[in-house]
Protein backbone atom coordinates (compact mmCIF):
# COMPACT_ATOMS: atom_id res chain seq x y z
CA UNK A 1 0.00 0.00 0.00
CA UNK A 2 1.50 3.35 -0.99
CA UNK A 3 2.97 4.88 2.12
CA UNK A 4 2.14 8.40 1.00
CA UNK A 5 -1.59 7.83 0.82
CA UNK A 6 -4.01 9.81 2.92
CA UNK A 7 -6.82 7.52 3.95
CA UNK A 8 -10.59 7.60 3.50
CA UNK A 9 -12.60 10.03 5.53
CA UNK A 10 -9.25 11.04 6.93
CA UNK A 11 -9.64 12.36 10.42
CA UNK A 12 -7.38 15.20 9.38
CA UNK A 13 -10.74 16.64 8.56
CA UNK A 14 -12.57 14.90 11.37
CA UNK A 15 -10.95 17.16 13.92
CA UNK A 16 -11.95 20.21 11.98
CA UNK A 17 -15.62 19.41 12.49
CA UNK A 18 -15.93 16.98 15.41
CA UNK A 19 -14.68 16.58 19.01
CA UNK A 20 -11.31 18.25 18.50
CA UNK A 21 -12.63 21.43 16.99
CA UNK A 22 -11.93 24.35 19.26
CA UNK A 23 -14.75 24.89 21.73
CA UNK A 24 -17.02 27.71 20.71
CA UNK A 25 -17.98 30.39 23.20
CA UNK A 26 -21.67 29.62 23.48
CA UNK A 27 -24.04 30.64 26.24
CA UNK A 28 -24.77 27.59 28.38
CA UNK A 29 -28.48 28.28 28.67
CA UNK A 30 -30.55 25.84 26.66
CA UNK A 31 -33.72 27.82 27.28
CA UNK A 32 -33.10 30.63 24.79
CA UNK A 33 -35.96 30.96 22.35
CA UNK A 34 -34.77 32.32 19.04
CA UNK A 35 -37.73 34.63 18.44
CA UNK A 36 -37.55 36.49 21.76
CA UNK A 37 -37.07 40.19 20.96
CA UNK A 38 -33.49 41.34 21.54
CA UNK A 39 -32.41 44.80 22.63
CA UNK A 40 -28.97 44.61 24.25
CA UNK A 41 -25.77 43.34 22.70
CA UNK A 42 -25.85 40.33 24.99
CA UNK A 43 -29.43 39.49 24.00
CA UNK A 44 -28.55 39.61 20.31
CA UNK A 45 -25.47 37.51 21.01
CA UNK A 46 -27.43 34.87 22.93
CA UNK A 47 -30.12 34.74 20.27
CA UNK A 48 -27.41 34.36 17.65
CA UNK A 49 -26.09 31.35 19.56
CA UNK A 50 -29.58 29.86 19.62
CA UNK A 51 -29.95 30.33 15.87
CA UNK A 52 -26.55 28.77 15.29
CA UNK A 53 -27.52 25.72 17.33
CA UNK A 54 -30.60 25.40 15.11
CA UNK A 55 -28.36 25.55 12.04
CA UNK A 56 -29.72 28.93 10.97
CA UNK A 57 -26.33 30.48 10.27
CA UNK A 58 -27.63 33.43 8.28
CA UNK A 59 -29.80 34.64 11.12
CA UNK A 60 -27.07 33.87 13.65
CA UNK A 61 -24.65 36.06 11.71
CA UNK A 62 -27.23 38.84 11.58
CA UNK A 63 -27.63 38.75 15.36
CA UNK A 64 -23.89 38.62 16.02
CA UNK A 65 -23.51 41.59 13.69
CA UNK A 66 -26.16 43.51 15.63
CA UNK A 67 -24.38 42.70 18.90
CA UNK A 68 -21.14 44.05 17.43
CA UNK A 69 -22.87 47.23 16.23
CA UNK A 70 -24.01 47.85 19.80
CA UNK A 71 -20.68 46.84 21.38
CA UNK A 72 -17.70 47.06 19.02
CA UNK A 73 -15.45 45.34 21.60
CA UNK A 74 -17.64 42.24 21.91
CA UNK A 75 -14.88 39.70 21.21
CA UNK A 76 -17.08 36.62 21.63
CA UNK A 77 -19.53 37.96 19.06
CA UNK A 78 -16.68 38.34 16.56
CA UNK A 79 -15.42 34.87 17.44
CA UNK A 80 -18.76 33.11 17.07
CA UNK A 81 -19.61 35.05 13.94
CA UNK A 82 -16.27 33.80 12.61
CA UNK A 83 -17.31 30.26 13.46
CA UNK A 84 -20.59 30.72 11.58
CA UNK A 85 -18.79 32.13 8.55
CA UNK A 86 -16.36 29.21 8.65
CA UNK A 87 -19.25 26.75 8.60
CA UNK A 88 -20.63 28.54 5.57
CA UNK A 89 -17.27 28.21 3.84
CA UNK A 90 -16.60 31.97 3.94
CA UNK A 91 -13.05 31.59 5.20
CA UNK A 92 -11.93 35.12 4.37
CA UNK A 93 -14.61 36.65 6.56
CA UNK A 94 -14.05 34.05 9.26
CA UNK A 95 -10.36 34.92 9.43
CA UNK A 96 -11.22 38.62 9.60
CA UNK A 97 -13.52 38.01 12.58
CA UNK A 98 -11.02 35.81 14.41
CA UNK A 99 -8.38 38.48 13.82
CA UNK A 100 -10.66 41.14 15.27
CA UNK A 101 -11.31 39.00 18.34
CA UNK A 102 -7.54 38.60 18.77
CA UNK A 103 -7.02 42.37 18.43
CA UNK A 104 -9.46 42.87 21.30
CA UNK A 105 -7.93 40.05 23.39
CA UNK A 106 -4.41 38.98 22.45
CA UNK A 107 -4.73 35.95 24.75
CA UNK A 108 -7.81 34.53 23.00
CA UNK A 109 -6.43 31.02 22.42
CA UNK A 110 -9.57 29.64 20.76
CA UNK A 111 -9.58 32.45 18.21
CA UNK A 112 -5.99 31.60 17.27
CA UNK A 113 -6.99 27.95 17.08
CA UNK A 114 -9.97 28.40 14.80
CA UNK A 115 -8.12 30.91 12.67
CA UNK A 116 -5.44 28.25 12.28
CA UNK A 117 -8.06 25.82 10.99
CA UNK A 118 -9.31 28.41 8.50
CA UNK A 119 -5.77 29.08 7.28
CA UNK A 120 -5.19 25.34 6.93
CA UNK A 121 -8.34 24.95 4.86
CA UNK A 122 -7.11 27.75 2.60
CA UNK A 123 -3.79 25.94 2.18
CA UNK A 124 -1.76 28.46 4.18
CA UNK A 125 -0.06 25.80 6.26
CA UNK A 126 2.72 27.94 7.67
CA UNK A 127 0.26 30.49 9.04
CA UNK A 128 -1.89 27.67 10.39
CA UNK A 129 1.06 26.26 12.33
CA UNK A 130 1.92 29.74 13.62
CA UNK A 131 -1.62 30.14 14.98
CA UNK A 132 -1.66 26.68 16.57
CA UNK A 133 1.72 27.48 18.14
CA UNK A 134 0.29 30.67 19.60
CA UNK A 135 -2.80 28.89 20.92
CA UNK A 136 -0.53 26.34 22.65
CA UNK A 137 1.71 29.10 24.00
CA UNK A 138 -1.31 30.78 25.59
CA UNK A 139 -2.81 27.50 26.82
CA UNK A 140 -0.32 24.60 27.04
CA UNK A 141 -3.20 22.27 27.91
CA UNK A 142 -5.08 22.98 24.68
CA UNK A 143 -5.36 19.40 23.45
CA UNK A 144 -7.20 20.28 20.25
CA UNK A 145 -4.50 22.74 19.24
CA UNK A 146 -1.89 19.97 19.41
CA UNK A 147 -4.08 17.61 17.40
CA UNK A 148 -4.89 20.18 14.74
CA UNK A 149 -1.23 21.13 14.46
CA UNK A 150 -0.56 17.42 14.05
CA UNK A 151 -3.04 17.42 11.19
CA UNK A 152 -1.01 20.06 9.38
CA UNK A 153 2.24 18.22 9.99
CA UNK A 154 0.61 15.09 8.59
CA UNK A 155 -0.45 16.99 5.45
CA UNK A 156 3.17 18.11 5.08
CA UNK A 157 4.39 14.53 5.41
CA UNK A 158 6.07 15.19 8.77
CA UNK A 159 4.63 12.11 10.43
CA UNK A 160 7.10 12.03 13.33
CA UNK A 161 6.05 15.50 14.46
CA UNK A 162 2.39 14.75 13.76
CA UNK A 163 2.47 11.66 15.97
CA UNK A 164 4.25 13.62 18.71
CA UNK A 165 1.43 16.18 18.65
CA UNK A 166 -1.25 13.50 18.72
CA UNK A 167 0.60 11.90 21.66
CA UNK A 168 0.42 15.21 23.53
CA UNK A 169 -3.26 15.69 22.71
CA UNK A 170 -4.01 12.19 24.02
CA UNK A 171 -1.96 12.83 27.15
CA UNK A 172 -4.06 15.92 27.91
CA UNK A 173 -7.47 14.56 26.85
CA UNK A 174 -7.39 10.76 26.58
CA UNK A 175 -11.17 10.63 26.30
CA UNK A 176 -11.30 12.12 22.77
CA UNK A 177 -11.69 9.40 20.14
CA UNK A 178 -10.63 11.63 17.26
CA UNK A 179 -7.10 12.02 18.61
CA UNK A 180 -6.55 8.25 18.45
CA UNK A 181 -8.14 8.06 15.02
CA UNK A 182 -5.82 10.77 13.70
CA UNK A 183 -2.76 9.08 15.12
CA UNK A 184 -3.95 5.80 13.62
CA UNK A 185 -4.11 7.47 10.22
CA UNK A 186 -0.54 8.70 10.60
CA UNK A 187 0.65 5.21 11.54
CA UNK A 188 -1.27 3.67 8.65
CA UNK A 189 0.28 6.12 6.20
CA UNK A 190 3.67 4.90 7.44
CA UNK A 191 2.47 1.32 6.89
CA UNK A 192 2.66 0.67 10.64
CA UNK A 193 -0.64 -1.18 10.39
CA UNK A 194 -0.47 -2.90 13.77
CA UNK A 195 -0.09 0.36 15.67
CA UNK A 196 -2.78 1.92 13.50
CA UNK A 197 -5.14 -0.89 14.47
CA UNK A 198 -4.39 -0.32 18.15
CA UNK A 199 -5.36 3.33 17.80
CA UNK A 200 -8.50 2.58 15.80
CA UNK A 201 -9.47 0.06 18.49
CA UNK A 202 -9.12 2.78 21.10
CA UNK A 203 -11.13 5.28 19.05
CA UNK A 204 -13.93 2.77 18.51
CA UNK A 205 -13.89 1.82 22.19
CA UNK A 206 -14.50 5.45 23.11
CA UNK A 207 -16.91 6.17 20.26
CA UNK A 208 -18.59 2.95 19.03
CA UNK A 209 -20.39 4.86 16.27
CA UNK A 210 -17.17 6.19 14.75
CA UNK A 211 -17.74 4.81 11.25
CA UNK A 212 -14.58 6.41 9.89
CA UNK A 213 -12.45 4.34 12.24
CA UNK A 214 -14.24 1.14 11.22
CA UNK A 215 -13.51 1.91 7.57
CA UNK A 216 -9.89 2.78 8.30
CA UNK A 217 -9.37 -0.21 10.58
CA UNK A 218 -10.85 -2.45 7.89
CA UNK A 219 -8.29 -1.06 5.46
CA UNK A 220 -5.48 -1.69 7.96
CA UNK A 221 -6.72 -5.24 8.56
CA UNK A 222 -6.63 -5.88 4.83
CA UNK A 223 -3.07 -4.52 4.77
CA UNK A 224 -2.06 -7.02 7.46
CA UNK A 225 -3.87 -9.85 5.65
CA UNK A 226 -6.45 -10.24 8.43
CA UNK A 227 -9.18 -10.64 5.86
CA UNK A 228 -11.95 -11.89 8.11
CA UNK A 229 -11.57 -8.89 10.40
CA UNK A 230 -11.36 -6.56 7.42
CA UNK A 231 -14.62 -7.94 6.05
CA UNK A 232 -16.27 -7.63 9.47
CA UNK A 233 -15.30 -3.97 9.82
CA UNK A 234 -16.41 -3.07 6.32
CA UNK A 235 -19.68 -4.97 6.80
CA UNK A 236 -20.37 -3.09 10.01
CA UNK A 237 -19.49 0.32 8.55
CA UNK A 238 -21.32 -0.24 5.25
CA UNK A 239 -24.49 -1.40 6.98
CA UNK A 240 -24.48 1.68 9.20
CA UNK A 241 -23.47 4.22 6.56
CA UNK A 242 -22.67 3.04 3.02
CA UNK A 243 -20.31 5.84 2.07
CA UNK A 244 -19.58 6.30 -1.64
CA UNK A 245 -16.22 7.97 -0.97
CA UNK A 246 -15.21 5.04 1.23
CA UNK A 247 -16.13 2.71 -1.63
CA UNK A 248 -14.11 4.71 -4.13
CA UNK A 249 -11.13 4.82 -1.80
CA UNK A 250 -11.24 1.07 -1.18
CA UNK A 251 -11.14 0.49 -4.93
CA UNK A 252 -8.32 3.01 -5.19
CA UNK A 253 -6.17 1.68 -2.34
CA UNK A 254 -6.91 -2.00 -2.95
CA UNK A 255 -7.01 -2.07 -6.76
CA UNK A 256 -6.42 -5.83 -6.85
CA UNK A 257 -6.71 -8.58 -4.31
CA UNK A 258 -3.62 -9.96 -2.64
CA UNK A 259 -2.42 -13.45 -3.50
CA UNK A 260 -3.07 -14.52 0.09
CA UNK A 261 -6.71 -13.36 -0.15
CA UNK A 262 -7.78 -16.84 -1.24
CA UNK A 263 -11.42 -16.24 -0.24
CA UNK A 264 -11.51 -13.07 -2.37
CA UNK A 265 -12.62 -10.90 0.54
CA UNK A 266 -11.83 -7.88 -1.58
CA UNK A 267 -14.64 -8.87 -3.93
CA UNK A 268 -17.06 -9.40 -1.05
CA UNK A 269 -16.32 -5.92 0.29
CA UNK A 270 -16.84 -4.41 -3.16
CA UNK A 271 -20.13 -6.27 -3.55
CA UNK A 272 -21.29 -5.04 -0.14
CA UNK A 273 -20.65 -1.46 -1.18
CA UNK A 274 -22.31 -1.87 -4.54
CA UNK A 275 -25.36 -3.59 -3.10
CA UNK A 276 -25.94 -0.80 -0.60
CA UNK A 277 -25.11 2.03 -2.97
CA UNK A 278 -26.96 0.55 -5.98
CA UNK A 279 -23.88 0.95 -8.13
CA UNK A 280 -22.90 -0.65 -11.41
CA UNK A 281 -21.70 -4.17 -10.60
CA UNK A 282 -18.81 -4.20 -13.08
CA UNK A 283 -16.19 -3.48 -10.39
CA UNK A 284 -17.37 -6.47 -8.39
CA UNK A 285 -15.75 -8.85 -10.85
CA UNK A 286 -12.89 -10.88 -9.33
CA UNK A 287 -9.64 -8.96 -9.46
CA UNK A 288 -6.50 -10.57 -10.83
CA UNK A 289 -4.12 -12.08 -8.30
CA UNK A 290 -0.87 -10.23 -7.75
CA UNK A 291 2.16 -10.91 -5.62
CA UNK A 292 1.82 -9.66 -2.02
CA UNK A 293 3.82 -6.48 -2.50
CA UNK A 294 2.97 -2.83 -2.10
CA UNK A 295 0.07 -2.23 -4.47
CA UNK A 296 0.08 0.65 -6.87
CA UNK A 297 -2.87 2.99 -6.86
CA UNK A 298 -5.52 2.48 -9.47
CA UNK A 299 -6.07 5.61 -11.51
CA UNK A 300 -9.80 6.43 -11.66
CA UNK A 301 -11.40 7.38 -14.94
CA UNK A 302 -11.58 11.12 -15.50
CA UNK A 303 -15.01 12.60 -14.96
CA UNK A 304 -16.50 15.03 -17.42
CA UNK A 305 -15.93 18.70 -16.63
CA UNK A 306 -18.32 21.51 -17.39
CA UNK A 307 -16.04 23.28 -19.82
CA UNK A 308 -18.57 23.93 -22.57
CA UNK A 309 -18.30 27.67 -22.05
CA UNK A 310 -14.58 27.92 -22.74
CA UNK A 311 -14.31 31.22 -24.55
CA UNK A 312 -14.34 31.11 -28.32
CA UNK A 313 -11.16 33.18 -28.31
CA UNK A 314 -9.34 29.87 -28.40
CA UNK A 315 -10.57 29.28 -31.93
CA UNK A 316 -8.99 32.51 -33.11
CA UNK A 317 -5.41 31.26 -32.72
CA UNK A 318 -4.70 27.61 -33.30
CA UNK A 319 -0.95 27.58 -32.89
CA UNK A 320 0.36 24.30 -31.57
CA UNK A 321 1.72 25.76 -28.28
CA UNK A 322 -1.66 27.28 -27.45
CA UNK A 323 -3.50 24.07 -28.23
CA UNK A 324 -1.10 22.07 -26.07
CA UNK A 325 -1.48 24.57 -23.23
CA UNK A 326 -5.26 24.49 -23.57
CA UNK A 327 -5.20 20.69 -23.36
CA UNK A 328 -3.10 20.90 -20.20
CA UNK A 329 -5.61 23.28 -18.59
CA UNK A 330 -8.51 20.98 -19.45
CA UNK A 331 -6.64 17.91 -18.19
CA UNK A 332 -5.73 19.74 -14.99
CA UNK A 333 -9.37 20.70 -14.33
CA UNK A 334 -10.77 17.27 -15.25
CA UNK A 335 -8.30 15.36 -13.08
CA UNK A 336 -9.06 17.55 -10.06
CA UNK A 337 -12.82 17.19 -10.52
CA UNK A 338 -12.60 13.40 -10.89
CA UNK A 339 -10.06 12.87 -8.12
CA UNK A 340 -7.42 11.44 -10.48
CA UNK A 341 -4.56 12.72 -8.34
CA UNK A 342 -1.89 10.89 -10.36
CA UNK A 343 -2.84 12.78 -13.51
CA UNK A 344 -3.36 15.96 -11.49
CA UNK A 345 0.16 15.75 -10.08
CA UNK A 346 1.49 15.13 -13.58
CA UNK A 347 0.23 18.55 -14.65
CA UNK A 348 2.76 20.28 -12.37
CA UNK A 349 6.47 20.95 -12.79
CA UNK A 350 8.81 19.33 -10.28
CA UNK A 351 9.88 22.78 -9.03
CA UNK A 352 6.31 23.99 -8.51
CA UNK A 353 5.79 26.27 -5.50
CA UNK A 354 2.57 27.69 -4.06
CA UNK A 355 1.67 29.22 -0.70
CA UNK A 356 5.01 28.16 0.75
CA UNK A 357 4.57 24.52 -0.33
CA UNK A 358 6.68 22.47 -2.69
CA UNK A 359 5.09 20.00 -5.11
CA UNK A 360 4.91 17.10 -2.61
CA UNK A 361 3.37 19.31 0.08
CA UNK A 362 0.96 20.83 -2.43
CA UNK A 363 -0.27 17.44 -3.63
CA UNK A 364 -0.64 16.18 -0.04
CA UNK A 365 -2.65 19.27 0.82
CA UNK A 366 -4.81 19.00 -2.30
CA UNK A 367 -5.38 15.28 -1.72
CA UNK A 368 -6.64 16.12 1.76
CA UNK A 369 -9.02 18.75 0.37
CA UNK A 370 -10.19 16.39 -2.37
CA UNK A 371 -10.99 13.60 0.09
CA UNK A 372 -13.32 15.78 2.15
CA UNK A 373 -15.09 17.29 -0.85
CA UNK A 374 -18.15 15.91 -2.63
CA UNK A 375 -19.97 16.89 -5.81
CA UNK A 376 -17.08 18.89 -7.22
CA UNK A 377 -17.93 20.89 -10.32
CA UNK A 378 -15.58 23.20 -12.23
CA UNK A 379 -16.50 25.62 -14.99
CA UNK A 380 -13.81 27.52 -16.89
CA UNK A 381 -14.83 30.67 -18.77
CA UNK A 382 -13.00 33.36 -20.73
CA UNK A 383 -9.88 31.28 -21.17
CA UNK A 384 -7.08 33.36 -22.64
CA UNK A 385 -3.71 31.87 -23.49
CA UNK A 386 -0.45 33.54 -24.39
CA UNK A 387 2.45 31.30 -25.35
CA UNK A 388 5.82 31.19 -27.01
CA UNK A 389 8.06 28.18 -27.50
CA UNK A 390 8.93 27.61 -23.83
CA UNK A 391 6.64 29.75 -21.66
CA UNK A 392 2.88 30.15 -21.48
CA UNK A 393 0.21 31.79 -19.34
CA UNK A 394 -3.43 30.77 -19.08
CA UNK A 395 -5.87 33.24 -17.51
CA UNK A 396 -9.50 32.32 -16.95
CA UNK A 397 -12.51 32.70 -14.69
CA UNK A 398 -12.99 29.59 -12.58
CA UNK A 399 -16.37 28.78 -11.03
CA UNK A 400 -15.86 26.11 -8.40
CA UNK A 401 -18.42 24.35 -6.25
CA UNK A 402 -18.29 21.39 -3.89
CA UNK A 403 -19.91 20.19 -0.70
CA UNK A 404 -17.62 22.46 1.34
CA UNK A 405 -16.86 25.46 -0.86
CA UNK A 406 -18.31 27.67 -3.55
CA UNK A 407 -16.02 30.17 -5.20
CA UNK A 408 -15.63 32.15 -8.39
CA UNK A 409 -12.65 34.19 -9.45
CA UNK A 410 -9.79 34.83 -11.82
CA UNK A 411 -7.07 32.19 -11.93
CA UNK A 412 -3.71 32.30 -13.64
CA UNK A 413 -1.59 29.28 -14.49
CA UNK A 414 1.99 29.95 -15.52
CA UNK A 415 3.57 27.11 -17.48
CA UNK A 416 6.91 26.11 -18.89
CA UNK A 417 7.81 23.50 -21.44
CA UNK A 418 9.83 20.57 -20.12
CA UNK A 419 11.01 18.37 -22.95
CA UNK A 420 7.90 18.00 -25.10
CA UNK A 421 5.40 18.63 -22.30
CA UNK A 422 3.93 21.73 -20.73
CA UNK A 423 3.90 21.84 -16.92
CA UNK A 424 2.42 24.26 -14.40
CA UNK A 425 5.06 25.92 -12.25
CA UNK A 426 2.97 28.68 -10.67
CA UNK A 427 -0.73 28.95 -9.77
CA UNK A 428 -2.24 32.32 -8.86
CA UNK A 429 -5.80 32.89 -7.67
pLDDT at 400 over 90: no
Q: What is the pLDDT of residues 123-156, one digit of tens each?
A: 999 999 999 999 999 999 999 999 999 999 999 9
Predicted local confidence at residue 333, as pLDDT: 81
Q: What is the pLDDT of residues 249-289, one digit of tens each?
A: 888 888 888 999 999 999 999 999 999 998 755 443 332 22
Cβ partners under 8 Å of residue 61, min gap 6: 48, 81, 84, 85
Separation CA 91–CA 183 (nearest Å)? 27
Q: What is the pLDDT of residue 16?
A: 38
User: What pLDDT shows up at residue 61?
Assistant: 96
pLDDT at 36: 61
| Structure confidence by residue, pLDDT tens digits, 359-376 | 888 888 888 887 777 777
> 358 phi and psi, to 5 degrees?
-85, -175
Q: Is the dihedral of CA 253, 167, 404, 125 positive or negative?
A: negative
The predicted structure's pLDDT at residue 364: 84
- Mean pLDDT for 338-355 is 84
Residue 304 predicted with pLDDT over 70: no
Predicted local distance difference test score (pLDDT) of residue 411: 85
Pick the CATH number of 312-428 from 3.40.190.10, 3.40.640.10, 3.40.50.300, 3.10.450.50: 3.10.450.50
Q: Output the pLDDT for position 171.
A: 97
Q: With 60 as the cut, is the pLDDT of residue 187 above it?
A: yes
Mean pLDDT estimate for the chain: 80
Q: How many CA atoms lie within 13 Å of 68's alpha carbon, on the beta-carbon side? A: 19
Angle between helical axes of 193-206 and 177-189 (0-180°, round to 10): 160
Parse the chain into domains and list their residue ranges. 312-428
Is residue 150 packed enough to be buried (19+ CB in 10 Å), middle (13-18) or exposed (0-12)? Answer: buried
The upper half-sphere exposure of residue 168, i.e. CA atoms within 13 Å in the direction of its Cβ, equals 17
Mean pLDDT for the stretch of residues 174-184: 95
The length of the chain, given as a count of residues: 429
pLDDT band of residue 35 (cuts 50, 70, 90) is low
Tell me the pLDDT tens digit for each residue of 65-84.
999 999 999 999 999 999 99
> How far apart (Å, rounded) are the C-alpha atoms in residues 35 and 20?
31
The pLDDT, as a whole number, for residue 59 is 95
Q: Which residue has the higher pLDDT, 350 or 230?
A: 230
Percent of the chain with pLDDT over 70: 81
Provide the edge-to-edge strand list for the sheet that holds 377-387: 377-387, 391-401, 406-418, 421-428
Residue 347 · residue 423 · CB < 8 Å: yes
Q: What is the DSSP string of 183-217?
A: HHHHHHHTT-HHHHHHHHHHHHHH-TT-HHHHHHH
Cβ(297)–Cβ(342) below 8 Å: yes
Amino acid sequence: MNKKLLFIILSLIFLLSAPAIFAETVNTSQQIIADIPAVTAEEYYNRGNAYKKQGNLTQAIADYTKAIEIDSKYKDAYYNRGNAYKKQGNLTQAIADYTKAIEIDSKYAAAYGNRGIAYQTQGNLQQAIADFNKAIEINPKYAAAYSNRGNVYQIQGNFQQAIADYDKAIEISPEIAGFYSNRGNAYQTQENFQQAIVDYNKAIGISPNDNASYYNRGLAYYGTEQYGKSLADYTNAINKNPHKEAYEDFIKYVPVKKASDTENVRNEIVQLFEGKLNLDKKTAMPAPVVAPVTASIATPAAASVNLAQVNSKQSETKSIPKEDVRNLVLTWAASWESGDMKTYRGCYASNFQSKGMNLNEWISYKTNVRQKSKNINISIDDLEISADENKATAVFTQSYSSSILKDKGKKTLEMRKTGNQWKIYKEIM
